[in-house]
Amino acid sequence: MPDPATPRPRPGRPARLNRERIVDAAVAAGNLDTLTMRALAARLDVSHGALYRWVSNRDQLFDLVSDVMVERILPTGGPPAGSPADSPDGARDADWRPWLARVAWSMHDQFLAVPGYATRLSRPHRHNSDALGRLRQEVVTAFTNAGVAPELAEQSWYIFITTVVGWLAAQETPSDLPFNHGAPRFDLFLDTLLRGLPAREPGAGCIPPGYSASNSYRSS
C-alpha cells in the first residue's frame, strides 16, 4: 500500500518550458522583430496555451530576452567607483570610459547576434524589463561616480543608449543611399560618441585633445 505522505505525481506531460528554453528558441528563430507567438510555440513543440503561461504576448517575450541580454552585457563588479568628493585633490576621476566602451562593445556583439532585437528596441514603445532599468542605473552611476551632476548623468545615459541602439538598428536594415560607402566601423562611431560624453551645458567646455576611446577596450 503506498505511503499516503508520498506526493503523487501530477498527471500529464512534465513541464518542458523554462526561461532559457524560451529565450534560446526566440533567438534562434531568425528575426525577433517578426517572430509570432504561435511560431515560437511551434519551435518549442508546445501548445500556444502552454507558452502563454510563461509569456502572454510579444512584449513580454521581448522583456524576457532583454533580461538575458543585459545579464550578458554588464561587466561583473558594477561601474567604476570615483574618489570621494572630499579627497585631498578634490578629484572624482572614476575611469568610466573604458567601462562604458566595454558595455557598448558587448551591446554590439549581443544585439547583432539576435536579428531584429536592436530594431525593435529602437522603436518608441513601453519597456517593462527590469533589466533595462538596471542597465540605465549602472550607466548613470558610472557618470555620477565621476562627478557628473545627476541631471546631466541622466542626459548622458539617454544620449548613449539612443545613439548606440540607433546605430545597431541601422546595421540590421542597411541603407542604399549613395553616400553609404564601405562597411560602417563601430570603433570609429564609438570613439566619436565617447569623446562627446558626458553631457555638458552649452559652452561648458569640451574633452581635452588627445583622448582616445579606441577598440582596445573591447572585451574578448
Band (pLDDT 50/70/90 cuts) for residue 90 is very low
How far, in Å, CA of 154 to CA of 149, rounded? Answer: 9
* Residue range 69-83, pLDDT digits in tens: 999 999 999 999 865
Cell 547576434 -> residue? 113
With beta carbons less than 8 A apart as the criterion, state whether 96 and 80 touch.
yes
How far, in Å, CA of 38 to CA of 44, rounded? Answer: 10
pTM: 0.78
How far, in Å, CA of 9 to CA of 18, rounded? Answer: 20
Q: How far is CA 3 from the centre of its chain?
A: 51
* Residue range 8-65, pLDDT digits in tens: 434 444 447 888 899 999 989 888 888 999 999 999 999 988 998 899 888 889 999 9
With beta carbons less than 8 A apart as the criterion, state whether 168 and 33 touch.
no
With beta carbons less than 8 A apart as the criterion, state whether 25 and 48 touch.
no
Q: Does residue 129 register a pLDDT over 90? A: no
* Residue range 151-184, pLDDT digits in tens: 999 999 999 999 999 999 999 886 655 555 667 8
